[in-house]
Structure 1
Amino acid sequence: MLDAVGAEANPTREHDLEPFRVLATCGGFVPGHRYGGPVRSLVQIVESISESIDLTLVTRDRDLATPTPYPGLSGRWVRQSGARVFYLTVSRAGQWRQLRREFRDTSFDLLYVNSLFSMFSLVPIIAARLGVLRVSRILVAPRGELSTGSLSLKRRKKQVFLRFWLPLLRTLGVVWHATSDREAESIRRACPWAQIEINRSQVSLPYEPLPPGPVVPGPARLVFISRISPEKNLILVLRALQQVSTPMDLDIYGPMENVGYWEKCQNLFARLPTTVQVRYCGELAADEVRSTFARYDAFVFPTLGENFGHVIAESLSASCPVICSDQTPWTDLLTAGGGAVLKRLTADDLAGQLERFAALDQVARAHARRAAGDAYRSWRRRVDGPNILEQARRASWVRPGDPIHPSCCGADS
């Protein structure tokens, strides 16, 4: 297993005349923003690859849970920084045939899929297994889908699917992309045979945090910025707020990915004490997130699990402390960064942390903001390194021009 910082360059590959050809697939990409952190991680990859990588990316032609496509992009190839991107309308057979013709005479050194459960992973992997798509190796980024919290949602369906899907991935000798040691452990729990590459280079955020904004007198100003879905656990925030006695305000930003879940959240609004004010403020574009965090005293995020947690990095980069679950790679940094980490995801425990934070005076809140910025600054300087595709290009497990042959790909290949 190679870490991004410790990966050794293969000199025979570093100066190859032939480009390293990569086909990447994902359910969402820019200009969409509803898919959250995975899109931003992919943007970082696309913007940071060298000229030695020839990257082709296939993605959906619309944002998450959105019926209408992006204007003028359906069925089109578009240049996005270092990649050619195709925006696919999945219901149009003609566009699938267009891709088949495009790839018929192309061999890829690497197929890089982002998700275990998306059709944008299932279809290309099965195509590679059948020889329809010619690739040398497959790199799978589960994007947190094998975490305990994620697997607890729709548990039975996922168990049945993985019972059949993981053995197929094993026969294909896939390599797994983890963004942290924590995610590597979750992959290994599901797949003890897994060959894992860890790469922490996930963000294109600046090195310096935004300066802490002025602390506004009055109730603590809390914020929740994320997809409104069971994984992000907004309901726990609202249940905790039912139990607090200290005045505080909560603003909620994010796409309503799960309408039924949002209705359950709304049902809790009427049960909140009069000293608590909650507002839904709509969605944010990606370039609005940091400046929004900068206006608040703390980000409340009792997520069920994050493989990386891009939104946490954004909060710290805006000098905004984070009150979070311990189901992320950020636990040590958040405690040092003026926030708090929940060891138990219960309404009682979260209410206690919210009460503690809301009781801080203006001087203590300002100190917490400075601590968040300092924690971000120290972290940001530790995560530089090649992105995952550059790391793969240098790795010995990629055999350029050698198509997948499942019968010779064992568990430890």
Structure 2
Amino acid sequence: MKLSNRKKILVTIDWFLPGYKAGGPIQSCANLVQHLKPDYDFYILTRDTDYCETVPYQNIQPNTWVKLEDHVQVFYFSAAHLKYKSLFNVIKQVGPDVAFINGIYSLYFSILPLFILKRLNHQKIIVSARGMLAQSAINVKGGKKKLFLKAIKASGLYKGIRFHATNEEEEKAIGNAISPTANVVIAPNLPKLTDEVAHVLRNKQRGQLNLVSIARISPEKNTKYALALLADYKGSEHINFDIYGPVYNADYWQACEEVIRQLPDNIKVKYKGSVQSDKVAATLSHYHALFLPTQGENFGHIILESFTAGCPVIISDQTPWRNLEKDKLGFDLPLAEPNKFRQAIQQLTQMDQQEYNIWSERAYFYGNKFINNAEPVQLNRLMFEV
């Protein structure tokens, strides 16, 4: 199938727009498509449901090509239609110039597409690891993942393909997990294409702090660790912590709720459900800081969105966003030193309006400067040209 004489890029990903509950991978892929659609025609294969959902998207016809916008077509597979033969036929029909596989472990959107493309003798295949080969990510269900990686390397399925890393740390992680000689191209994650919005001033009183988390509720995002930090907070200041995001594991959330029940009276936590991606900026504008002591982020779209919304961050040092305190953007702290997180919370809590405004404005201008940098877009464009 052909939309134009431009290069055709086949993209495979478990969840895509209008989905949003899978967080970063959807955002990373959607941002890339938005930035590069003036140059390429994108054909995206995905599910017809959102992450952790069984009900299909409304008003979207499954198992056929849907024109999402100019130069972007999406094939939403229903669960019943998601089979090897169906994937083979659709991939063969597209006949892409470049295939861009998102993720490592998905049977239908990572493993089988790679096998099919190899069977069709396709030469230009890129596998985007999306942070899944970082040691912190492999350690979650580590036994199964290590066995899988051993088997897939032995199969030769990765022979002759390129891996996409978003930074040098991920390049090293791919080398450690796959092979020191793996062919890796570095192209940074791209920010969301948005019109710059005015900086929203929040009311800030000394001794009061409104924190927010917008992420999956999961061990990887360290939701329980964040709550435990607050449970052991000794200050008497009033702290509100609102949690947004899908519950990935009911047992883990129950453990989180147990910690919530142990919080002192001056600390209030509310679970607010999921927030759609187009509502994130407006949601962030109501809070003083993002609180996300994550186990690791390949990029951390919510961190960048926090900056652009003028919201400083309290995060771990396991993300690309480092040395924040010196520029008054927030704090990036070691997970092995929980007291440093509590000190950061106390520092923000004790800020008055004037001091907080400085930090909020610094975050806002830093975020908007980042999203207007053209170099990352060019690096992603080059990834498809090599």
The equivalent of 2:66 in structure 1 is 78
Structure 1 residue aligned with 2:221, among 229, 232, 237? 232
Residue 88 of structure 1 pairs with residue 116 of structure 2: no
- Is the 2:190–2:377 Cα contact (8 Å) retained in structure 1? no
Structure-2 residue corresponding to 1:122: 111
- C-alpha RMSD of the superposition: 2.3
| Aligned equivalent of 1:33 | 20
User: For residues 202 and 52 of structure 2, what CA distance do their matches in structure 1 show?
Assistant: 37
Counterpart of 1:327 (choices 282, 295, 318) is 318
- Closer, same or farther: CA 281–27 of 1 in aligned 2, 3 Å: same
The separation in 2 between residues aligned to 1:141 and 1:307, in whole angstroms, is 11
What is residue 230 of structure 2 aligned with on the other side? Answer: 241
Q: 1:155 to 1:105 in 2, by over 3 A?
A: closer
| 1:355 positional shift | 1.9
8 Å Cα contact 1:56/1:84 also seen in 2: yes
Shift of 1:18: 4.5
- Equivalent residue, structure 2, for 1:108: 96
Give 5+ residue unaligned stretches, structure 2. none
What is the alpha-carbon distance in structure 1 between the residues aligned to residue 362 and residue 156 of structure 2? 43
SS of equivalent residue, structure 2 residue 171: helix
Is 2:341 the partner of 1:353? no
Matches of 1:151 and 1:249, distance apart in 2: 33
Question: Contact 1:200/1:383 (CA < 8 Å) preserved in 2?
Answer: no
Give the equivalent residue in structure 2 for 1:59. 46
Amino acid in structure 2 at the alignment position of 1:128: L
Q: Is the contact made by 1:239 and 1:347 (CA closer than 8 Å) also made in structure 2?
A: no
**5+ residue gaps in structure 1?**
1-16, 396-413
What's the counterpart of residue 223 of structure 1?
Answer: 212
Match of 1:135 among 107, 118, 122: 122
For residue 86 of structure 1, give the secondary structure of its aligned residue in structure 2. strand
Where do 1:155-170 residues align within 5 Å? 155-168=142-155
Quote the Cα distance in structure 2 between the aligned partners of 1:166 and 1:335. Answer: 43
* Counterpart selection for 2:256 from 234, 246, 265: 265
Q: Indicate how the Cα distance of structure 1 residues 232 and 387 shifts in structure 2: closer, same or farther if over 3 A, else same.
A: farther
TM-score by length of 1: 0.84
**1:290 and 2:281 are equivalent in the alignment:** yes
TM-score of the two chains, using structure 2 as the length reference: 0.90
Question: Where does residue 184 of structure 2 map in the other structure?
Answer: 196
Residue 180 in structure 1 maps to residue 167 in structure 2 = yes
**Deviation of the 1:387 alpha carbon:** 6.1
Q: Which residue of 2 aligns with 1:23?
A: 10
Cα gap change, 1:209/1:375 in structure 2, threshold over 3 Å: closer, same or farther?
A: farther
CA shift at 1:205, angstroms? 3.8
Do the aligned partners of 1:60 and 1:90 also contact (CA within 8 Å) in 2?
A: yes
Amino acid in structure 2 at the alignment position of 1:27:
D
The amino acid of 2:45's aligned partner reads V
CA contact (8 A) 1:201 1:384 kept: no
Distance 1:155 1:201 in 2: 26
Amino acid in the other structure paired with 1:160: L
Deviation of the 1:55 alpha carbon = 2.1
Change over 3 Å in CA distance of 1:334–1:209 after alignment to 2: farther
